[in-house]
Structure 1
């Protein structure tokens, strides 16, 4: 059973709304696209320092990638066929109908672990009973260009 660091809408909905309001006030027609763009930009900066920040999102990476894929027009079936991610992991770390809240939760998770987990760690626990995901097992995953 997956139960480690699951996102909860009540913890991230207010921040999600603040993001939407902020970007909308700036005239942004696609707040989700702006958040995705910001995440990709940060990943590029970190890659220049030898860090695959996508690995730093750990258990949230499959959910992040689904959001990116769907936003770019890929279907859910195409996403799963391409990445081979387990749907239970993707769903566990997604907040349904709240893509920006999911990305905020992923960012929070990543920041929590930046101080205690070595960079470029690929093995992440999904529960306290030894269930893990190794992101290196998914060759089509999002990777930094280091």
Structure 2
């Protein structure tokens, strides 16, 4: 059972709404695309320092990558075929019907762990009793830094 650090929709809704408001006020026509572009730029910048920022999303990486893939036009079926991510992990860390909130949750998770988890950690616990894990290195076609 997946129950560790799941997204809290009630807490994320105002954050996602605020992101939408700010980016719309700044003239963004594609708010989700703007957020994804910022994520990619940050990941590219960290890759220059040999840090795989994608690993920092931990258990949220499959959900983050799903948002990015679907936004870029990849079908959900093709996404799962390419990545081989477990559907239950993607669904557990996705905020239903709110991609911005999913990305906000992933960012919060990443920020929270930067102080306590080694930078390029690939193995992440999925539940509170720490019996179920996901090892992101097992997913060859995942998003990753290019060094």
Please indicate the TM-score interval, normalised by the length of the shorter structure. Answer: over 0.9
Structure 2 match to 1:142:
143
Stretches of structure 1 lacking an aligned partner (at least 5 in a row): none
Runs (4 or more) in structure 1 with deviation over 3 Å come to none
Deviation readout 1:35-60 (Å, 9 max, x if unpaired): 00000000011111110010010000
Q: How many residues align?
A: 146
Stretches of structure 2 lacking an aligned partner (at least 5 in a row): none
1:58 paired with 2:74, answer: no
Structure 1 match to 2:15:
15
Structure 2 match to 1:130:
131
Displacement after TM superposition at 1:27 (Å)? 1.4
TM-score scaled to structure 1, two decimals? Answer: 0.98
SS in 2 for 1:10: helix
TM-score scaled to structure 2, two decimals? Answer: 0.98
Displacement after TM superposition at 1:129 (Å)? 3.7
SS in 2 for 1:57: helix
